[in-house]
Amino acid sequence: MISVKMIFRMLSLRKRKSNPGATRFKLIIPLLIFGWSLSACGVFSSGEPTVVSAPPTLEPATQTPESTSTQEPATPEIQEEPSPTPQAPQPTTESIPQVETLPNPDDFSWSVFATGLAQPLYLTHAGDQSGRIFVIEKAGRILIFQDGIQLEDPFLDIVQQVNSRDFERGLLGLAFHPNYAQNGLFFVNFTDLNGDTVVAKYQVSGDANRAEPDSQEILLTISQPYANHNGGMIEFGPDGYLYIGMGDGGSAGDPQGNAQNLESLLGKILRIDVDSGTPYGIPPGNKPGGRPEIWALGLRNPWRFSFDHVTGNLLIGDVGQNQWEEIHLLPAGAISANLGWDYFEGTHPYEGSPPNNISLVFPLLEYSHGGGNCSVTGGYTYRGTQLPDWQGVYLYGDYCSGAVWGAIPDANGDWQTERLYNLSASVASFGEDESGEIYLVDLNGTIYKLTAN
């Protein structure tokens, strides 16, 4: 792990290389520790992403790893058929809007949308045609912005229930039900006072700008053995199911072997049906042979992921260990994916050898810890209307270096990626509004919107 001496040495380098000013520098110490704890320590090299071409795969698994988990099993209802509730639009392969080259970054800017926030971690919308933007703060508040103006009262305040003292704990995720305009339901992912992950459901109150705090219904509680790698992202997929990103439980190197253990919910992406079952149902197509909530395994810390609204593809930013950060692409309809941790970090062998009967999905993109990089922040595929030069471009960044890259596929499906911006920001998250416009969330307290010059 990184020592205090190393932290202050890196802080002095970062202060000389950027120009945020002295007051900003005072905020960097805990924030850099937060970022480095996401990634552990590493050896730095050039740090530019590369596209992984034709990654090797092995034969599909016929066995499951031996259980070492001590978690209590859930008792969800297993669905034999897809949920009858209204589904999000299904992806299409016809006439997919897509630029052929990455845009000239000089023609666009990250314009300040909001400032003065307290450790913002995520931005999203309710999909209810209200135009409102919702921002979560690490301590346990959800704020509302209407027409660019922050409302005085928070949408939800659960500070008293949230452990936000540790760098990777707090109120970490927010997702609105696809039918929120009709049912007023939304979901949060937070770390409780015991340090465990909680996924809970809430109901909006009679006031559209205030949630009903007493409506909380806990769907899932997952024990966390360490204070880092808590994951936190939750998002509804095109299939209408809720996807939940879970880190491997923390420390370094997955010491408990959670990521490859099908009896543990850690190191996974889970998928549940919130519209059926008690307290939820299990959709068809989840990984067989272990905990029924598991949809994908072999992840270290999928801090942020997103679905492309046109193709239905899932793009996952999985935070690396010593040297490599990675972006995974799982196409629409993918099932039972094993993303390789901790046999591999990116495409590089890390620990042990996978059995010959396990098929691994290697990342689409990877980059090293060179250039001050330390922790990937998965982003979004631009599907807005204000910036046609960005149509179909996937944006992602690095928490420590402030780099923002773009990536696009060509007509043959081969991807290219390029560094577009070097920001003086701690890139905690990206986000999008109802129109598909892209935002960047700086943990220091500022939110930016990608705009044309």
Q: Tell me, yes or no, whether 56 lies in a domain.
A: no
What is the total count of domains within the chain?
Answer: 1
- Domain of residue 33 covers 4-42+76-452
Q: Is residue 71 part of a domain?
A: no
By DSSP bridging, strand 149-150 and strand 156-157 are unpaired
Amino acid 53: pLDDT: 59
pLDDT digits over 25-70, tens only? 333 334 443 443 444 333 335 689 998 854 434 333 333 333 333 3
> Above 70 in pLDDT, residue 76?
no
- Whether 446 is in a domain gets the answer yes
The yes-or-no verdict on residue 206 having pLDDT over 60 is yes
Tell me if 306 is assigned to some domain.
yes
pLDDT of residue 333: 86
Average pLDDT rounded to a whole number, residues 224-245: 94
Q: Find tokens 């001496």 and name the residue.
A: 5
> Span 367-392, mean pLDDT?
96
Q: At residue 98, does pLDDT exceed 50?
A: yes
Q: What is the pLDDT of residue 261?
A: 97
**Nearest Cα residue to 117 out of 431, 435, 451, 452:** 431
pLDDT top residue among 84 and 264 = 264
Task: Give the model confidence (pLDDT) of 129-149 as tens digits.
Answer: 999 999 999 999 999 999 999
Is the residue at 135 inside a domain? yes
Kindly give the interhelix angle for 22-39 and 4-17, rounded to the nearest 10 degrees.
130
- Does the pTM of the predicted model rise above 0.75? yes
Which CATH number goes with the domain that contains 341?
2.120.10.30
pLDDT of residue 45: 54
Q: Is 54 part of any domain? A: no
Specify whether the CB–CB gap between 317 and 376 falls below 8 A: yes
Contacts of 362 (CB under 8 A, 6+ apart): 52, 55, 56, 57, 340, 344, 346, 347
Average pLDDT along the chain: 84
d(CA 448, CA 155): 21
Evaluate if residue 209 carries a pLDDT over 70: yes
Long-range contacts of 150-155 (CB under 8 A, 24+ apart): 150/114, 151/209, 153/209, 153/210, 155/209, 155/210, 155/211
> If DSSP codes are grouped into helix, strand and coil, which group holds residue 419?
strand
Q: Decide if pLDDT at 71 tops 60.
A: no
Cα(45)–Cα(417) distance, integer angstroms: 18
Domain-located, residue 438: yes
**pLDDT above 60: residue 316:** yes
- Tell me the β-bridge partners of 345: 348
426: in domain: yes
Q: With 60 as the cut, is the pLDDT of residue 86 above it? A: no
CB 186 within 8 A of CB 202: yes
